[in-house]
Chain A
Amino acid sequence: MNDAERPISPPKSQLAYWIFQLTGWGLYSLSRFFGGVTVMNLPWVHFGLQLLFVDSLAFGLSHLLRNYVRRHQWHALRIRNLAWRILVASFVCGIPLGILTQFTDVALLQDPNEFLEGMSSALRFQLALPVAIALEIVNWSVVYLIWLTIYFTAIAVREYRSAQLKQSELARALHLAELRLLKSQLNPHFLFNALNTVRSLIADNPARAQDAVTRLAKTLRYTLTSPQDELVTLSQELDIVADYLELESMRFEDRLRIEIHVPDDAAGVRIPVMLLQTLVENAIKHGIAQLPSGGLLRVSATVQNEILVLDVENPRPPAPVRTAQEGVGLQNAHDRLRLLFGARASLELDLSHPSVTTARLRIPVNP
């Protein structure tokens, strides 16, 4: 991976870098300047200029260091490999600056005599310079160690944030894809059986066959184009459910009886598209189709306390035939509700009646 593929520093973080860089170095220099002038009574112009010179070089070196670590992709290293590189780099930067500092007044800030106490004066004279240089090198190495630590901490934080952002974007995309998938399930079993019914009706009852084709076209259009809308009114959904039920009753003939009760106040409530359709399909598949003599499919709606309660009832077969696919439709419906309304909507199967299964949907009137 190279920088062209992976912009590790967008303009915003470029600006942040310079602000941090200037503030950090500025504060460091200022503190040493005031330390030198006030505590050690150094001549401020002379000392100040030398300090400015040394610290500008240090500042420049840190920028070169930053370009170097970016070019060599240190941010992608594992923490252990990064750690020893940071230590070495700090020391490598510390050496030239340490030596340079020793030849300026800035060196006065450091007193090597503290380390040489108790030695003979000859020895002290001999060791004074090397110890002073060593101290300056250690000093600068520590400064660069801190600098690099801050730099890579900032990078790590930024990468963590962008990973989180990507994660949430991904979650949102997934959520949308999930909704689309859960909704647009054209039931091929229904489709082919309907086509077979139409074929039979063409000979038995041509007018009915024409009606069936129109209804089938409407049902297909609704199923195939509905992914554009998330919510539709109950009455819009009922239109399509009615077409679907009409087709199914051509197929099942007198085995399927239908009752629909939807008062006006419920008809305008917005519900997830294809949801009632799914419940009705389930009622037929697991109820009516399993019973040799069929039964009554009932759809009824009421609005109670700003909640739409939608019941889909079907007769329950005595020993339900268990299949692997059973419950997939309901599970999907459940998932969609959760994605669209959170905890405020619910879908439950009421099995309290011995021979009737009721799928009960609760949706807030004002989502």
Chain B
Amino acid sequence: MAGQIIAYGIMVGVFYGLVAVGLALLFGVMRYMNIAHGSFMMIGGYISFFLFTLLRVDPFISIPVVMLAMFLLGIAVYKVLFSPLGKFPEGLRLGTSMLITFGLILVLDNVCALLWTSDPKTIATSYSGTTIEIYGIRLPLARLGVLGVTFIVIIALHLFLNRTYFGKSIRATAEDWEAASLLGINIGRTYLVASGISIALAGAAGTAVALMYSINPYGGLEWLLTAMVVLVFAGLGNIKEVFMAGLLLGIVEQTSVFFIGGEFRAVVGLVIFVLILLFRPQGLFRQ
């Protein structure tokens, strides 16, 4: 039984890392908090849901398409909402970014509800109920697939941030945007790309939600809560430790679900959040 809980915790936890990484990237680079991150996940989920039901495209195949569409949406969001924020005094930007993305939730969620009703939707593939058994531990195929996708995303993101010019400029800007700007990095373009990638990652996570759980227009905030707890777990502004933090949260959460039941999953997240802030506000992994 313990093996089952831990295996499940790992699968859920790595996925939590995927949920949080887009938010962590945006916060780490731009110092903006995107409260609408979960709502973007839902939109990504809807795109893959309709690709599946209307065109019979398997969600794992549609992930690149979803990410591309969400990347473009992220660029539009930057152009319309985030770039005007640059005119605000530096001390006000973070708070204002929360206010406008909070307003954005209202817009996005209700547009989704208007277009596609508020019924929950799930992608039901032929392999949705299939599990494989290894040493008595049952592993759902869809979750294993999401695990694989997350690893690909981690590696791709790592290579992008460390090996490409854009990736390096994103890291430099996250470190110190004024110095980066002096060295000739185009800050506006870096922010544009970072915001596109952040929303694209939300889209990938949303596809996985539609496959493993269900999506509905108002489901975004619940996932935002998970992403935020992971962020605080990793230490705000840390992109690298997000997957590690997600993994830990997943294991703790699954263990608690086994003992006290799934109704209190959100409360467990909250308790962990408060404990972290009381004892290790800089995050679990920082010295």
A pairs with B: no
